[in-house]
Structure formats: structure tokens, C-alpha cells
Amino acid sequence: MALPISPVFLALRGVARFVVTIGVVGYTILDELLFPLVRPLLRWVGNLQHLQRLGAWIGRLPPYVVLVLLAVPFVVIEPVKLFAVYWTAVGHVLAGPVLLVFAHLLSLLTVERLYHAGYEPLMRIGWFARLMRWLVGLRDRALDWARSTAVWKSAAATIRSVRDWFGGMLG
């Protein structure tokens, strides 16, 4: 027989889900805004022969070695992002967002590249593969919810307009 679930537990779980959803959506929005801007840089970096060889080498390493390689820059860069959000919240309204964008770009250039280079070995670690499936599912559910809101639709239309405008200016 299952024990009854406390209303306080249910409320805390709801708040935690809301906070996680807001965090995932905020992070994804930042990613959606920055990724198209840095795609040419990522393509250029990805085409460098030395980095292609390095990526192939990383893909042949044992799974836990790849995990350690991934963890080092992740442990350094991700706290900088949290600090940038904190910094913004305490009043550094220009420096905080600039630091967040810089940290996110650095993450795209290091952590993302390492993750993709070592994807196959990493997915051979059972708990890591389950964690990534759970995180991707969480992200997808949060995005589905966010994309259904009027705010998202309006922001997406504005972003498309800005991209089209820049494309017209550059093209």
C-alpha cells in the first residue's frame, strides 16, 4: 500500500518543476538565439584538420576518459554561467548578460565539441545514456510547453524578423 503524498511535497515538487522548466527554457532560448549566430564559426572550427583529428581521437577513447575530458571544461564554464545570472540579478545589468553570452559561446566551442566528438563512447556508459535521455526528454517537454505560449510565438516572430533584416543587410 502506498503512503499518502503530502500536499507540501506536491507543492514543492510543482515549484521545482516550474523552476527547472524556466531554467531549461531560458537556457534553450539563449541557445536558440546564439547558435545561428555562431554556426559559421563552429563550421569553420569543425573543418580545421587538427580539430577533426582530435575529435576522431576523442571518439576512440574509453568512455570514462571521454567523460573526464568533458567534465573538466563543463565544471569550469557552467558555474560561470550561473554566476553571470546571479551577477545580473544583483544589478550588473550589462556585465552579467555579457558574461553569460561569453560563457555560453565558450561552452559551444568546447563542451559541445567534446560532447559530440565523444558521443559514442559516452553512450556506452549506461547511467550517462539514461541521464542524457531524461534530460533531452525534459528539455523537449519544456520546449513543447514554451512553444505553445503566446510569448514564445511572439519572440520567435521577432527573431525571424531580425534575422531576415540582418540577412537583407548582409546579403
**For the segment 125-166, what is each residue's pLDDT rounded down to a tens digit?**
999 999 999 989 987 887 788 788 888 788 888 878 887 887
Average pLDDT over residues 114-130: 95
Give the pLDDT confidence score for residue 127 in this predicted structure.
97
* Domain containing residue 70: 54-143
Q: Is residue 65 part of a domain?
A: yes
Give the pLDDT confidence score for residue 25 in this predicted structure.
67
Q: Is residue 49 part of a domain?
A: no
Helix (H) or strand (E) holding 17: helix 7-46
pLDDT in tens, 104-113: 888 878 888 8
Q: Is residue 133 part of a domain?
A: yes
pLDDT in tens, 51-95: 889 999 999 999 999 999 999 988 999 899 899 989 988 989 899
- Per-residue pLDDT band at 168 (split at 50, 70, 90): confident
Helix intervals (H) in 47-149: 49-59, 63-89, 95-109, 111-117, 119-122, 126-147
Give the pLDDT confidence score for residue 56 in this predicted structure.
93
Q: Is residue 105 part of a domain?
A: yes
pLDDT in tens, 55-66: 999 999 999 999
How far apart (Å, rounded) are the C-alpha atoms in residues 127 and 102? Answer: 31
Q: Is residue 121 part of a domain?
A: yes
Measured torsion, CA atoms of residues 148, 149, 154, 155, in degrees rounded to the nearest 10: -90
Q: Is residue 1 part of a domain?
A: no
The DSSP secondary-structure symbol of 149 reads S
Specify the number of domains making up the chain: 1
Of 14 and 87, the structure prediction assigns the larger pLDDT to: 87
Q: Is residue 139 part of a domain?
A: yes
Q: Is residue 168 part of a domain?
A: no
The candidate with the shortest Cα–Cα distance to 31, out of 103, 129, 89, 91, is 103
The candidate with the shortest Cα–Cα distance to 142, out of 26, 35, 31, 30, is 26
Residue 115 pLDDT > 70: yes
Say which residues have a Cβ less than 8 Å from residue 77's Cβ, sequence separation at least 6.
103, 106, 107, 110, 111
Q: 96 near 85, Cβ under 8 Å?
A: yes
Q: Which amino acid is at 141?
A: R
Give the pLDDT confidence score for residue 30 in this predicted structure.
67
Q: What phi, psi does 148 have (nearest 5°)?
A: -85, -10
